[in-house]
Amino acid sequence: MKNIKRISFLFVLMTFVISCATMKKNNVVTGKVDLIESGKDGYTAKVTTDAKEVYFAIISIVNLGGPQNYKQLKIGDKVSLKGEIWETEGEKHIKVQEIVSVK
């Protein structure tokens, strides 16, 4: 009986870990910056892709790995951003870990 409980607990734990790992994924978002909102540790940029998808990109010095990687985007910039994507309340968000390109 004790072993069944342990196996059940391990199964539930593994299922939880796998589901959490698959919820967030690293991708690249490419689009045009439509809006910038300043925050405490950085800013949020509203990026619209060519497919008309809207992403709210969270850009901070900490997430980019230091000030040498940090860039201030401007409205109208064409950007490629790499990072962790998730969806909340119908909005798509990306925690930017790398600014791939700015044009």
17-22 long-range Cβ contacts below 8 angstroms, 24+ apart: none
Listed range (9-18, 37-46, 56-65) with the worst mean pLDDT: 9-18
* Overall number of domains in the chain: 1
In terms of DSSP bridges, do strands 78-88 and 54-60 run parallel, antiparallel, or are they unpaired? Answer: unpaired
Q: Which among 71, 62, 63 is positioned nearest to 93, based on CA atoms?
A: 63
pLDDT at 17: 52
Q: What is the pTM of this model?
A: 0.74
In a domain, 1, yes or no: no
Share of the chain above pLDDT 90, in %: 73
**CA-CA distance, 48 to 70, in Å (whole number)?**
21
Q: How confident is the model at residue 4 (pLDDT cuts 50, 70, 90)?
A: confident
Does pLDDT of 5 surpass 90?
Answer: no
Question: Is 78 domain-assigned?
Answer: yes
The answer to whether residue 50 is domain-embedded is: yes
What range does the domain containing 85 cover? 25-102
How do residues 83-94 score in pLDDT, each as one tens digit? 999 999 999 999
- The mean pLDDT of 43-59, rounded to a whole number, is 98
Q: Does any domain span residue 19? A: no
Query: 11 lies in a domain?
Result: no
Q: Is residue 63 a contact partner of residue 83, using CB atoms and an 8 Å limit?
A: yes
Quick: pLDDT tens for 62-72.
999 999 999 99
Considering the domain boundaries, does residue 17 fall inside one?
A: no
Domain containing residue 47: CATH number: 2.40.50.140
Q: 10: helix, coil or strand?
A: helix
